[in-house]
Amino acid sequence: MITSGHLAEIESPQLTAARVFSLIAPELKLIEQEFERQARSNIQVISYIGDYLRASGGKRVRPALTVLATYAAGGDGARHNAIRMAAVMEMLHTATLVHDDIIDNAGTRRSHASINSRFGNQTAVLMGDWLYMSAFETSLAERSLPILDILTTVTRKMTEGELLQLTMLGRADVTEEQYFDILLRKTAYLFSACCEIGALLGATAGEEARRALRDYGLNLGAAFQLVDDLLDFTATEDVLGKAAGADLLEGKLTLPLLLLLEQEPSRRAEAQAIMRAGNYDKITRASLLRAAEATGALKQARAAAVEYATAARDALNVLSPSKYRDALSSLPTFILERES
């Protein structure tokens, strides 16, 4: 969790997470209904898995961003096209999670059995593909080349990020530049796409607002993933709803450990041994956490998250004042404070 000292660096009136989401509660309900409709199929197994995925929940941050950005750009987030595109963004996100869990051989997701562990890898691969194609099919209803361009670009970047990460698995010599390149591709560009599409759906948004919301989403997404990586390093499995410390066991170096290894290169062999063994039997997770705290690596990683969160909030300054801009401005703090 980010400390109050770091939160103090974000100086603006903040809405609570509950108030942000209650602001668009009717729209979120419509998005759930639209997601259910889009995930429906006359193929029984697809409908069954679609229901399972939706029931497993999620914060719905990405569709919420699409709706809030639409409103902040002067549009109507309750209109069917905004609801439809918000559901599309959640479907794209869900597809990436399904494929990521296969690659990572993850057993749980949001405290539920992952699709691959419950239904098998073959079914999970095909379900992820179906979600991608259904999302694109639904987006065609907009008849908007700019929106399709954003969706194809972000899907390519996410796939590139996954492939880049695969080339780095099991390596203890990953650089910060490589880490951030993967982070932006795998997470931040989708946040950016949600906000930019919201800007396009806005009634009065010009190029400046579109650029501002695109930059806001990119920085917010980077902060989100940095916090996610910190939580994997510091939180418990009960809090996360999935295995804690799993990133290193899966062969991934995240920023807290990367910064630790920069300061104590002798620990690279330890990290390599953990990745090779796939467990913390010989070198405990607690010992790495203590070292990261002692060297300031955790503090540095938290500071990076705050920097991106602050940049996200600052990007909104060009937008006209509204309760929706205030809600977007509050989300960076919500992300920094989250514990799961």
Label residue 194 exposed, middle or buried (CB < 10 Å: 0-12, 13-18, 19+).
buried
Instruction: Round to whole Å and give the CA distance between 70 and 328.
Output: 11
Q: What is the pLDDT of residue 12?
A: 46
Residues 6+ apart with CB under 8 A from 204: 73, 74, 75
Q: What is the pLDDT of residue 2?
A: 40
Q: What is the pLDDT of residue 114?
A: 86
User: What is the gyration radius of the CA atoms in the chain, in angstroms?
Assistant: 20
Phi, psi of 112 (to 5 degrees): -115, 160
CATH code of the domain containing 320? 1.10.600.10
Q: What is the pLDDT of residue 153?
A: 97
Phi, psi of 303 (to 5 degrees): -65, -35
Q: What is the pLDDT of residue 237?
A: 67
DSSP E strands, the chain: 108-109, 112-113
Q: What is the pLDDT of residue 243?
A: 64
What global pTM score does this model have? Answer: 0.90
Q: How many domains does the chain have?
A: 1
Query: Containing domain of residue 297, as a range?
Result: 4-337
Instruction: Round to whole Å and give the CA distance between 331 and 206.
Output: 23
Q: What is the pLDDT of residue 39?
A: 82
Instruction: Round to whole Å and give the CA distance between 40 and 194.
Output: 23
Please list the rounded mean pLDDT of every run of 10 residues in the chain (340 residues): 42 68 94 88 84 78 96 94 95 91 80 85 92 92 93 96 93 94 96 97 84 97 95 74 77 94 92 90 89 94 97 96 95 85
Token pair for 150:
């954003």
What is the distance in angstroms between the CA of the first residue and the CA of the last residue of the chain? 9
